[in-house]
Amino acid sequence: MNAKPRGRQFFNNPGPTNIPDRVLRAMDRPVLDFMSDEFLAIQHACHAGVKRVLKTDQTLYMYNASGHGAWEAALANLFSAGDTVLIVETGYFSLSWAEMAVNLGIKVETFAADWRTGADVAKLAERLAKDKAHEIKAVLTVHNETATGMVLPVADIRRAMDETKHPALLLSDTISSLASMEYKMDAWGVDVTVGGSQKGLMLPTGMSLTGVSNKAIEVSRKNKAPRHYWNWELMNGRAPQKFIGTAPVHMFFGLQESLKMLEEEGLDAVFQRHARLADATRAAVRAWGADGKGPQLYGQAKDRLSNSVTAVMMPEGVSSDGFRKIAIDRYNLSLGGGLGPLMGKVFRIGHMGDLNEPMLLGCLATTELAMKTTGVPFAPGGVDAAIASLAN
Q: Which is nearer to ligand PLP, 100 or 275 (CB)?
A: 100
Q: Minimum CB separation from ligand PLP for residue 70, in Å?
A: 8
17 binds ligand PLP (CB under 6 A): no
Q: Which is nearer to ligand PLP, 100 or 155 (CB)?
A: 100
Q: Minimum CB separation from ligand PLP for residue 227, in Å?
A: 18
67 binds ligand PLP (CB under 6 A): yes
311 binds ligand PLP (CB under 6 A): no
68 binds ligand PLP (CB under 6 A): yes
Q: Which is nearer to ligand PLP, 50 or 376 (CB)?
A: 50
- If one counts every other C-beta atom within 10 angstroms of the C-beta of residue 165, the result is 9
91 binds ligand PLP (CB under 6 A): no
CA distance 388 to 392: 6
116 binds ligand PLP (CB under 6 A): no
83 binds ligand PLP (CB under 6 A): no
93 binds ligand PLP (CB under 6 A): yes
Give the footprint of ligand PLP on residues 129-168 (CB under 6 A): 142, 146
Q: Which is nearer to ligand PLP, 254 or 294 (CB)?
A: 254
Q: Which stretch binds ligand PLP (CB under 6 A): 50-58, 60-68, 286-294, 366-374?
A: 60-68
- If one counts every other C-beta atom within 10 angstroms of the C-beta of residue 249, the result is 20
> Cβ contacts of residue 18 below 8 Å, gap of 6+?
11, 202, 353, 354, 355, 359
200 binds ligand PLP (CB under 6 A): no
- If one counts every other C-beta atom within 10 angstroms of the C-beta of residue 220, the result is 22
Q: Which is nearer to ligand PLP, 196 or 338 (CB)?
A: 196
Q: Which stretch binds ligand PLP (CB under 6 A): 62-70, 72-80, 211-219, 312-320?
A: 62-70
Q: Minimum CB separation from ligand PLP for residue 59, in Å?
A: 21
Q: Would residue 206 be called left, alpha or beta, if left means φ above 0 and alpha means ψ between -120 and 50 degrees?
A: left
The site string for ligand PLP over 339-378 (x = CB under 6 A, - otherwise) reads ----------------------------------------
Q: Which residues, in sequence order, are bridge partners of residue 170? A: 139
In this structure, the strands spanning 296-297 and 207-212 are unpaired
Helix axes 382-391, 267-288, angle to 10 degrees: 150
Q: Which stretch binds ligand PLP (CB under 6 A): 5-13, 23-31, 61-69, 320-328?
A: 61-69
Closest CA to 358 of 313, 390, 316: 390
CA distance 196 to 259: 14
Give the torsion sign (CA, 8, 9, 11, 12): positive
The SS3 call for residue 276 is helix
From 17, 18, 176, 306, residue interacting with ligand PLP (rule: CB under 6 A): 176
Q: Which is nearer to ligand PLP, 131 or 182 (CB)?
A: 182
Q: Would residue 245 be called left, alpha or beta, if left means φ above 0 and alpha means ψ between -120 and 50 degrees?
A: left
- CA distances in angstroms from 123 to 8, 128, 155, 202, listed in the order given: 47, 9, 15, 36
Q: Minimum CB separation from ligand PLP for residue 291, in Å?
A: 32
Nearest-CB residue to ligand PLP?
Answer: 67
Q: Minimum CB separation from ligand PLP for residue 68, in Å?
A: 4
8 A C-beta contact, residue 183 and residue 174: yes
15 binds ligand PLP (CB under 6 A): yes
Amino acid letter, 69: G
Establish how many alpha carbons lie within 13 A of residue 284's alpha carbon, considering only the half-sphere containing its beta carbon.
Answer: 25
* Residue-level length of the chain: 392
From 13, 66, 172, 310, residue interacting with ligand PLP (rule: CB under 6 A): 66
Q: Minimum CB separation from ligand PLP for residue 57, in Å?
A: 25
Q: Which is nearer to ligand PLP, 11 or 93 (CB)?
A: 93
8 A C-beta contact, residue 48 and residue 70: no
Give the footprint of ligand PLP on this chain (CB under 6 A).
15, 66-68, 93, 142, 146, 173, 175-176, 196, 205
